[in-house]
Amino acid sequence: MKKGTLFLVPNTLGDEHRETQIASVIPPFVAGVAAKLDCWIVENAKTARAFLSAVHQITPLQKPLQEISMSVWRGPSKEVQAIDLMGPLLEGRDMGLMSEAGLPAIADPGTEIVAMAHHLQIPVRPLTGPNSLMLALMASGMSGQHFCFHGYLPIKAPERLKKLRSMENESKQNHSAHLWIETPYRNLSMLTGLTEALAPNTNLCMAMDLTLETEQIIRLPVSSWQKLLQSDVSTLIKNIDKRPAVFVMQV
């Protein structure tokens, strides 16, 4: 039996106003593919339904939203493994894989689904859409030739300090850019830790709310971030508090 194709479908980067976002960040072809799929593996069912509802405004869904099958995947557990979700694909049905935001399988548990699809010789087709990491790197003006994404840094100060010093040293030696993300409510704590750990002349960029109307990208040397924290902390907190951000650093 011919196997179905696993389509890797990008999501928008923000929760609000998806209908207006989609027109600028999701190509019409991708919206068309999403509208045809009636079987999905998603990180968050509520977010996935909101995305498909917005897609419907551009390209009508082939099935009513309530008839579209969604399996939630946030990584392997005692209840579900990646292979458990492959049934429709093995039966010849196409499926979509969707992250809560941005591209599936990039800083996302969908990686294991894609790996299992390859293991079972199921065709995988990635589709074009927004990715906060690449957008942040583009906008930072830092090295697009040599860079490394670190996911989340350690929460505890001693381990985080050690990691930052290692990243800074590697950046100095290799002229490389280093990217990471943080839970939005810890943005200020992260920024404070960065100003204490990094050298004054190290460049640091915060790229927030990418692709949204509230998008803001700030690149400054650490010494300037330190001054902001000392003299205008209330405005700084207002600017960075609880906003999805990508941090980029380069010596």
For 22-49, write each residue's pLDDT tens digit.
Answer: 888 999 999 999 999 999 999 999 999 9
Question: Residue 107: left if φ>0, alpha if ψ -120 to 50, beta else—which one?
Answer: left
Same domain, 85 and 145: no
**Domain residue limits at 100:** 6-126
Q: How confident is the model at residue 242 (pLDDT cuts 50, 70, 90)?
A: confident
Q: What SS3 state is found at 83?
A: helix
Whether 141 is in a domain gets the answer yes
Q: How confident is the model at residue 163 (pLDDT cuts 50, 70, 90)?
A: very high
Predicted structure pTM score: 0.90
CA-wise closest residue to 124 among 100, 107, 104: 104
Asked whether residue 161 carries a pLDDT value surpassing 90, the answer given is yes
Find the CATH number of the domain harbouring 169.
Answer: 3.30.950.10
Same domain, 92 and 149: no
- Residue-averaged pLDDT of the chain: 94
In whole angstroms, give the CA distance from residue 24 to residue 216.
17
For 83-132, write each residue's pLDDT tens digit.
Answer: 999 999 999 999 999 999 999 999 999 999 999 999 999 999 999 999 99
Q: How confident is the model at residue 234 (pLDDT cuts 50, 70, 90)?
A: confident
Report which of residues 237 and 47 the model is more confident about: 47
Indicate the number of domains in the chain.
2
Same domain, 171 and 66: no
| Cβ contact 175:146 at 8 Å | yes
Name the maximum alpha-carbon separation found in the chain.
Answer: 67
